[in-house]
Structure 1
Amino acid sequence: MNDLSRAVVLTVDAGSGSCRALAWDVGGRMLGLSQQEWAYEPSGHPGGLNFNTEDGWRIVTECIRGALEQAGPDRTQSIRPEEVRAVTSTSMREGFVVYDEGGEAIWAIPNVDARAQKEAQELLAEGLGERFYQLSGDWTSLAASARLRWIKHNAPEIWDRAHHMTMLGDWVLQKLSGEFVSDPSLGSSSALFDLSQRTWSPEIAERLGISHLLPRVVESGTVVGTVSKQAAAATGLLEGTPVITGGADTQLGLLGGGIVDANQFGVVGGTFWLTAGVADTPLLDPEMRLRTLCHVVPERWMIEGCGFAHGLSTRWVRDGLLRTANPGIELDDGYERLSELAAQVPPGSNGVHYFASNVMNSKSWKHPTPSIVGLSPFTIAETGLGAVFRAVMEEGAYNARGHKELLEEVFGHGIEEVSFVGGPSRSPLWCQIVADVLGTRVRIPNVLEATCLGAALCALVGVGAYADLGEAVKATVQTARVIEPEAGARAAYDELYPRWRALNDHMLEAADKGLAPHMWTGAGAVGPQQEAAAAT
């Protein structure tokens, strides 16, 4: 078992819409994958969503077993438990789990839970918003600070029993090994960190009264325990298999795309689109619009802008329009068919615009209700399904451009190249749109599952297959292709992008006036009433 050339590692991805388990070899080649969707439960409180840990663990165990059984096409049999040298996890950020003294989960939420509006406003009224941002790199919108205070105020029976807390990816590690632990990338997404120290902030913890809840912090790629007897029986893994820290989905997506050095920039496409830059210091946006978190690579930090619901928007077009009208079209064929239609539409989608995500402003982070503008009953062919889908694709790129411009402002220089990873990077059309809208060279790495590959590299470092994450990236990640902007399309988008921004502002203004609902409002978001109060 000392020969690592044939090592297999397993990664569990607790994502926003599903759980996936993937098996990998030492060269970063995926051997098996199993996936199941999951849903969140309404909490009964405005904006509140619960994560069901009991059902979630059932799905995790079934995915692990499925990944071991569904080996790659060149393998003649399933992966045997003794072949798995390590297991690790990644997850959506911000979501977390609270446990009692015995280690049982007693409260859990996903990242988009927004119940703690009142508590966030209380923190701001106490003057803690800016101070916490300076320490942790994030505003109260998705921070655990307001959510923990919500438990204390609204569920005292939970608060009195609370003994541990972990992020969702760390919950997977805890279920596998019994250990309570976090890494800097996931831990910092709680906004409870001191970024400069890459661990929990004593000041924030003392102010909130949560020091007793916080787990130990170790860097990604560290062995923290082994698979327990109970977890082995549930998952099919071998008892004693090393359990290794992975990290947050976006930071691992950057790692899997080879975006690890200072002044490298990337777009991670998926349910949410993250446009990020890497720094060798905990660089903050002076205007507190963007957020800064720890990268999975030691002595690296990531500053990002987050776009909402892009992946869900493409799914809505596929399932709500295309497949509803054509039930015979398979899921796997839907996006290809829509891309073919969108490729026949020129830049600007014949005047059709799609809106779902505002450019990030942490202090007032709100999104308008999803809308389509520009449909015409007089030009059905020009503004039909192909134009709608291209408008959705363009909206993701417009959002990335808004964040790119903010990153250029914070870094103090222009961005000439962006790496693009995630599901949308598999679409040649979408890659070209991103290059044209951003006006930059776009590098596409040779990876299909960047986040889970990043997690696998952490596991491989943990078992000694590579000395560190930098060596692992160099051995497994190469450039598949480079896309340059097309001059004509770039010029067109330079004119179209300001229109999209202006129209998006109108959509947000309508929601602020109560003429339409917001799709999502971050806890502590400053609205017109608060702005007026501040002005007086």
Structure 2
Amino acid sequence: MRYFLAFDAGTGSGRAVLFDETGAEVATAGQEWWHASDPRYPGSMDFDTEGNWAALARCCREVIAKAGVDPKDIVSVSATAMREAFVLHDESGAEIWACANVDARADAEVRELKRDHPGLEEDIYARSGQTYALGALPRLIWLRRHMPEVLERAQALTMLSDWVLYRLSGELTSEPSNAGTTGLIGLADRKVLGDAMEKLGLRSDIFPRSVVTGECVGTVSGAAAKETGLAPGTLVIAGGGDCQTGGLGLGIVENGDCAVLGGTFWQQVVNVPLTLTDPSMKLRINPHVVSHLNQAEAISFFTGAAMRWFRDAFGQGKGYFELEAASKEVPPGAHGIIPILSDVMRYNEWIHAAPSLLNLSLDPEKSGPAAIFRALQENAAIVAHRNLEAVFALTGERPARIVFAGGASKSPHWAQILADVTGLPVATSKVKEATALGCAAAGATGAGQFGSLMEAGAAWSCIEDEYQPNRALRDLYDEASDRWQRAYAAQRALVAEGVTQSMWRAPGT
């Protein structure tokens, strides 16, 4: 039996997942992590390359031990990761600086860019599908101002998925589905927007050689083999951004296909043609790993992280399944509780309200852990629904179904809530780790098992269950959605007035 291993460096955890040649998951190991803020720089979110690589290497060794496989039977290894986060390397390849995805330290730089270069953000968005909100451009300018010695030494910029491949093989490469989230890669041609970088006095050659998902970039080095337990010489294959490899793992490889990926953040994605852009700049457009498609995407912030927070703070020692079992007894609508967490996608004005729970009752049966847990699940579905409706309005088409994946899709109850709220059938994948599965499919393609990524996605994706919407609940959830929208607007206003503090806000907003 041949095996394929995927590393997944996510926002809230790192994982190693092993698949066999049929696409079946053999073993997985993960470690929760978070990213420290540098107290000197408000909004910063550093990525610990040394500590997090050690965590990924431990996960790899654990997976190999769990599966009981000979490392020589692992044909290839690939990597996927949170987008937007990047690593800077010096001339020797060593990492000299790294940030996580929602690092927001470049607030002043975004404001200055908008003031001093009117129209530049709009031009960059039209070509790359990205605004300054999570882009690399303001962060690089921030480095030039605050850490000039770092930027002067920087010879290469890699995304986290590329960085994992570098740790494995020693090869510095750049793959566009993830690099595209810097806002410096064109949607149509996947090339660096060198003119935009040069206009601002930045080097346009900082991206290393470009590779495509499924391309072999090298082999596992002797040093990496000792750290991970992999066999030296194992093929190292280019992966991609987590959302895009997740789409591949779900078989979301045709125009119009739709998915919700439920992890620490929730992503709602629809495949679109290369020519589509959003005149409102509220949605983002990303390169897909399938080269002839892009993905229109909306993001719900900290959805999975909020569930972890609730479990740890109020779960009274119970796990997710125990909390959910109790929440199933709570009637739809969760007694009117309104969670204020993620807003809908506003890429050009991304400000979230302060985390809060509104409309609580003094009746413990109506505002206890079970009721709040259900309210959090329903709210995640409401925000996802509103985000998807914005994408459907842009494309002018509605899909036949939503494919639901990620950790949240392990819950049949949550999948049913998503169907009830959206009014669309919701299909769940047999393999819940769709992001890792798509990454492993890329690895299998690079190793010659498949002739193309589309062939791999079609062969390995497998729908396990489908949930039909309960039409009788549509009016209830539409009314709950309207109340949430009005309540959220009021809570955003409190942030604007300085009464409360935003959960997260994009730099320059």
Asked if structure 2 preserves the Cα contact closer than 8 Å seen for 1:88 and 1:459, the reply is yes
Q: State the identity %.
A: 38
Structure 1 window deviating more from structure 2 (196-205 vs 451-460): it is 196-205
2:334 aligned to which of 325, 346, 349:
349
Structure 1 window deviating more from structure 2 (278-287 vs 390-399): it is 278-287
How many angstroms does 1:445 deviate by? Answer: 2.2
Residue 62 of structure 1 corresponds to which residue in structure 2? Answer: 58
Asked if structure 1 preserves the Cα contact closer than 8 Å seen for 2:8 and 2:80, the reply is yes
How many angstroms does 1:411 deviate by? Answer: 0.3
What is the TM-score normalised by the length of structure 2?
0.97
- Look up the equivalent residue of 1:215 and give its one-letter code: P
User: Structure 1, residues 425-453: CA drift from partner, whole Å, max 9, x if none?
Assistant: 11111111111111111122222110000
Residue 26 of structure 1 corresponds to which residue in structure 2? Answer: 21
- Look up the equivalent residue of 2:292 and give its one-letter code: E
User: Structure 1, residues 224-274: CA drift from partner, whole Å, max 9, x if none?
Assistant: 111112212222222211110011111111111111110111111111111
User: Structure 1, residues 337-395: CA drift from partner, whole Å, max 9, x if none?
Assistant: 11122211222111111110010111110111111011111x22122221101110011
Residues 136-535 of structure 1: matches in 2 within 5 Å? 136-208=128-200, 209-322=202-315, 325=316, 327=317, 329=318, 334-377=319-362, 379-525=363-509
How many angstroms does 1:59 deviate by? Answer: 1.3
Asked if structure 2 preserves the Cα contact closer than 8 Å seen for 1:282 and 1:292, the reply is no
Asked if structure 1 preserves the Cα contact closer than 8 Å seen for 2:445 and 2:456, the reply is yes
Residue 47 of structure 1 corresponds to which residue in structure 2? Answer: 43
Give the ranges of 4+ consecutive aligned residues of structure 1 lying more than 3 Å apart after TM superposition.
none
- Look up the equivalent residue of 1:220 and give its one-letter code: T
Cα distance in 1, alignment partners of residues 269 and 303 from structure 2: 16
Is 1:112 the counterpart of 2:90? The answer is no
Asked if structure 1 preserves the Cα contact closer than 8 Å seen for 2:12 and 2:305, the reply is no
Asked if structure 1 preserves the Cα contact closer than 8 Å seen for 2:336 and 2:480, the reply is no
Residue 7 of structure 1 corresponds to which residue in structure 2? Answer: 2
How many angstroms does 1:282 deviate by? Answer: 4.0
- Look up the equivalent residue of 2:279 and give its one-letter code: P
Asked if structure 1 preserves the Cα contact closer than 8 Å seen for 2:256 and 2:397, the reply is no
Structure 1 window deviating more from structure 2 (408-417 vs 245-254): it is 408-417
CA RMSD of aligned residues (A): 1.3
- Look up the equivalent residue of 2:220 and give its one-letter code: V
Unaligned runs of 5+ in 1: 1-5, 72-77, 526-536
Is 1:100 the counterpart of 2:90? The answer is yes
How many angstroms does 1:153 deviate by? Answer: 1.0
User: Structure 1, residues 198-247: CA drift from partner, whole Å, max 9, x if none?
Assistant: 23222233234222311122210000111112212222222211110011
Unaligned runs of 5+ in 2: none
Residues 66-81 of structure 1: matches in 2 within 5 Å? 66-71=62-67, 78-81=68-71
Structure 1 window deviating more from structure 2 (88-97 vs 200-209): it is 200-209
What is the TM-score normalised by the length of structure 1?
0.92
Asked if structure 1 preserves the Cα contact closer than 8 Å seen for 2:17 and 2:28, the reply is yes
Asked if structure 1 preserves the Cα contact closer than 8 Å seen for 2:218 and 2:236, the reply is yes
Structure 1 window deviating more from structure 2 (208-217 vs 442-451): it is 208-217
- Give the secondary structure class of the aligned counterpart of 1:12: strand
- Look up the equivalent residue of 1:70 and give its one-letter code: K
User: Structure 1, residues 388-425: CA drift from partner, whole Å, max 9, x if none?
Assistant: 01110011111111111111111013344211111111
- Look up the equivalent residue of 1:151 and give its one-letter code: L
- Give the secondary structure class of the aligned counterpart of 2:466: strand
How many angstroms does 1:28 deviate by? Answer: 0.8
- Look up the equivalent residue of 2:133 and give its one-letter code: S
- Look up the equivalent residue of 1:35 and give its one-letter code: G
Cα distance in 2, alignment partners of residues 282 and 358 from structure 1: 27
